[in-house]
């Protein structure tokens, strides 16, 4: 696995394709730190795999506008079929295209 990491191969991504959807405790923790109600807000999850955290957000804030970005093409295919997501992106923010220099998260 270390060799794969050094080569840039992400071996853990396929795990998410077979995982059953369930609410994880860290979903609750992250949302507890949000400083405002997310209804009518735009929310972008970078590296969102198949969108399970976004689904959790939608259940709590049904009027939120959800966007997901995922680099893995197989995970992106699953993500892009989710009806609760406004837009899904198959993109590498920090890779070869270098779309951004820094990502800042605000809550």
Per-residue pLDDT reduced to its tens digit, 51-79? 999 999 999 999 999 999 998 899 999 99
Domain count, the chain: 1
pTM for the full predicted model = 0.73
- In this predicted structure, the answer to whether residue 103 has a pLDDT above a threshold of 80 is no
The burial class, CB within 10 Å (0-12 / 13-18 / 19+), for 58 is buried
The domain of 106 spans: 42-107
User: Which CATH number do you get for residue 68?
Assistant: 3.40.50.150
Dump pLDDT digits (tens) for 10-65.
566 666 676 666 678 888 888 888 778 899 988 989 888 899 999 999 999 999 99
φ/ψ (deg, to 5) at 85 = -95, 130
pLDDT > 90 in the chain, percent: 37
């Amino acid at each position: 696995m270390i060799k794969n990491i050094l080569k840039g191969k992400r071996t853990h991504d396929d795990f998410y394709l077979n995982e059953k959807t369930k609410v994880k405790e860290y979903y609750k923790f992250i949302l507890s730190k949000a400083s405002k109600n997310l209804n009518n807000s735009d929310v972008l999850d970078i590296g969102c795999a198949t969108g399970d955290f976004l689904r959790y957000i939608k259940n709590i804030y049904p009027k939120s506008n959800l966007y997901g970005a995922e680099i893995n093409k197989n995970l992106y295919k699953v993500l892009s079929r989710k009806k609760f997501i406004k837009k899904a992106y198959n993109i590498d923010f920090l890779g070869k295209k270098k779309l951004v220099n820094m990502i800042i998260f605000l809550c």
